[in-house]
Amino acid sequence: MGYLKSLVAEMKLLSWPKKAEVWGSTKIVIAMSLILVLFVFLSDQILNWLMGMFL
């Protein structure tokens, strides 16, 4: 039971992020994911076009 008491005590000391901070981080992750998807898609299209030209 000592473990659970210390766990509860530690959880009370935590500093949880505010809703605005979480939302800001979420927007950054979504934006970076979309940029990565666009990069991979365009790279694939260009390489596909180049392979079609030379083969």
Residue 55 has pLDDT above 90, yes or no: no
Q: Where are the domains of the chain?
A: 19-55
- What pLDDT is attached to residue 42? 98
- Given the structure tokens 């030209």, which residue do they identify? 53
Number of helical (H) and strand (E) elements in the chain, helices listed first: 2, 0
6 confidence band (pLDDT: 50, 70, 90)? very high
Q: What is the pLDDT of residues 10-39, one digit of tens each?
A: 999 999 999 999 999 999 999 999 999 999
Query: What is the CB-side half-sphere exposure of residue 43 using CA atoms within 13 A?
Result: 6
Range list of β-strands (E), 1-55: none
